[in-house]
Amino acid sequence: MPIYDIYLILPLCAALAAAAPAGAQDKANEEGGNRPSVESASKKVAADKLTLDEAIGRALAQSPRLQAFRSAVAAAKAERRQAGARQNPEVSFSKENFRAGAAYKVISPAQNVYGVSQLVEIGGKISARQDVADKGVEIAGLEHQAAALDLIRDVTVAYAEAVAAEQSVRLAGEQKALAEDVLKSVSTRVDAAAAPLIQKARADVEREAASVALDTAKRRRDITRKRLAVLLGEDKDNFAIDGESFFALSKPDEEAAVEKLTSGPDMLRLNSLEEQARSRYDLERANAIPDPRISAGLTRIPSAKDQALLVGVSLPIPVLNANRGNIERARTEVSRTEQENRNASLSLAADLNTAEQLLENAYLQASTFKNKILPSAQKAFALAREGYELGRFPYLEVLDAQRRLFEVKQQHIAALKDYHTARAIVERLTAAHLPKLTTTGETDGE
């Protein structure tokens, strides 16, 4: 082997040793007697890391996004209490003939009239209002559930993006370290007049490009962590992320998940809106029925020192206002909500089908990278390294294999991120995390 190739082998071996698998490093530590301390430190770091379930729990407990929906539930319950209230009675007083002439006073002396009246609602108005308000409480609770499920989806996606960004930083750091080693090796060859100066310039460009890529990856990581912190309802992103679950893959359920849409809050809310529209229609029909007003009173005649009781009933005549406009509007609202319900059902089914296809594709892609492409790239790099050490391949062959390995790892990370994103969307549409809301008290906003 030429002497100048030795200058390339030494830094390359150092770089490969730094990027050695964790298992090999653990074995070396075991031989040196340091394994227990390393394991205990690793367990401590893992215990302090934020898992996905912990992130979801934090978001449900402290994210301000859900506060508005909790208030909406409380407002709907207050409206329900008000819907059952009856009309207040009215108290009246009148004084008659107190400035009449003497002749008139003989015929009709001055009188003090005390009375009380009560409007009596008939036709089922109160029960109809209560039905509308009951549906309002139900809709508010379902909207709160939907908002909580949206939050879980967004946290899951943000968590996957944060882990992917963290892994990208790690890969960019390895690329930069390799570029620096290559620059040192090429510089040594150039100084020894064993390689042209242009190779050093190219190696320097590679190093600068790797440095820029690392800075970009760090900024993207900071952005994703800040986005996750906002979803958690926290001001700072001073948490460590546990990325172990990020690399776990599970085959999508082949069972048709469209049936699960009917049990989710989205479809239940649409059904409740339709039922509420029908209840409003019943209420407007009941409002067309006139309500009688019953009154009772006492008349006192001071001059005669006597009194008499009064009773009366009044009833509006529905000739000028029969509430026809409101009835027609309510009937139209029923038809509108029926059509919107059907359209939304079709849209949700289409969205679920699309999300399932994306999930299946992302799963196959990530599995292919994990089981085939990534091992092949690692094998190609190992063969290139072995061939270079035996003098069969030039150094550029090793460098190209190393770059390709980093590209495959980056594509694998992107495929995993797409997989977790698609899975979060499917789980949101099928309300897979609804039991989790029950355990955290997020089902009714209380």
- How many structural domains compose the chain? 1
Which pLDDT does position 434 carry in this prediction? 86
Which pLDDT does position 23 carry in this prediction? 38
Angle ∠(22,418,348) on CA atoms, nearest 5: 145
Which pLDDT does position 441 carry in this prediction? 59
Assign 207 a pLDDT band (cuts: 50, 70, 90): confident
DSSP secondary structure letter of residue 373: I
Q: What does the pLDDT look like over 358-392, one tens digit per residue? A: 999 999 999 999 899 989 988 888 887 677 666 67
Which pLDDT does position 122 carry in this prediction? 92
Q: Which of 251-265, 268-282, 317-331, 375-389 is predicted with the least confidence, judged by mean pLDDT?
A: 251-265
Domain for residue 25, yes or no? no
Can you tell me the mean pLDDT for 225-238? 89
DSSP secondary structure letter of residue 100: -
Q: Which of 4-18, 55-69, 375-389 is predicted with the least confidence, judged by mean pLDDT?
A: 4-18
Which pLDDT does position 39 carry in this prediction? 46
Can you tell me the mean pLDDT for 60-84? 91
Give 245-251's long-range contacts (Cβ < 8 A, gap of 24+).
245/51, 245/52, 246/160, 246/163, 246/164, 246/167, 246/416, 246/420, 247/370, 247/416, 249/363, 249/366, 249/367, 249/370, 249/416, 249/419, 251/363
Cβ burial of 370 (10 Å; 0-12, 13-18, 19+) is middle
pLDDT over 50 at 173, yes or no: yes
Domain for residue 102, yes or no? no
Q: Which distant-in-sequence residues (6+ apart) come within 8 Å of 127 by Cβ?
A: none
Which pLDDT does position 248 carry in this prediction? 86
Can you tell me the mean pLDDT for 170-174? 90
Cβ atoms of 348 and 261 closer than 8 Å: yes
The pTM assigned to this predicted structure is 0.76
Assign 420 a pLDDT band (cuts: 50, 70, 90): very high
Assign 105 a pLDDT band (cuts: 50, 70, 90): low
In whole angstroms, give the CA distance from residue 210 to residue 410. Answer: 14
3-state secondary structure of 424: helix
Q: Nearest Cα to 295, choosing from 89, 123, 88, 112?
A: 89
Domain for residue 64, yes or no? yes
Which pLDDT does position 319 carry in this prediction? 87
Domain for residue 277, yes or no? yes
Domain for residue 318, yes or no? no
Which pLDDT does position 259 carry in this prediction? 65
Can you tell me the mean pLDDT for 401-408? 85
Domain for residue 293, yes or no? no
Assign 330 a pLDDT band (cuts: 50, 70, 90): very high
Q: Nearest Cα to 39, choosing from 56, 22, 18?
A: 22
Residues 62/68/70/73 CA torsion (nearest 10 deg) = -170
Percent of the chain residues past pLDDT 90, beyond the cut: 46
pLDDT over 50 at 117, yes or no: yes
**Where is pLDDT greater, at 238 or 229?**
229
Which pLDDT does position 95 carry in this prediction? 80
Q: What does the pLDDT look like over 151-169, one tens digit per residue? A: 999 999 999 999 999 999 9
**Where is pLDDT greater, at 39 or 242?**
242
Which tokens hold the place of 437? 């809301």
Do the bridges between strand 293-301 and strand 306-314 make them parallel or antiparallel, or are there none, so unpaired?
A: antiparallel
List the CATH number of the domain containing 411: 1.20.1600.10
3-state secondary structure 323-352: CHHHHHHHHHHHHHHHHHHHHHHHHHHHHH
Domain for residue 256, yes or no? yes
Which tokens hold the place of 421? 């994103």
CA atoms within a 13 Å half-sphere pointing along the CA-CB vector of 281: 16
In whole angstroms, give the CA distance from residue 398 to residue 5. Answer: 13
In whole angstroms, give the CA distance from residue 7 to residue 21. Answer: 24
Assign 215 a pLDDT band (cuts: 50, 70, 90): very high
Domain for residue 417, yes or no? yes
For 183, the domain range is: 3-14+50-86+121-288+323-440
Q: What does the pLDDT look like over 284-326, one tens digit per residue? A: 999 999 999 999 999 887 766 778 898 999 999 988 899 999 9
Which tokens hold the place of 250? 């599970």
Which tokens hold the place of 261? 């849409």
DSSP secondary structure letter of residue 91: E
Which pLDDT does position 366 carry in this prediction? 92
DSSP secondary structure letter of residue 288: T
Q: Which of 151-160, 170-179, 187-196, 250-259 is predicted with the least confidence, judged by mean pLDDT?
A: 250-259
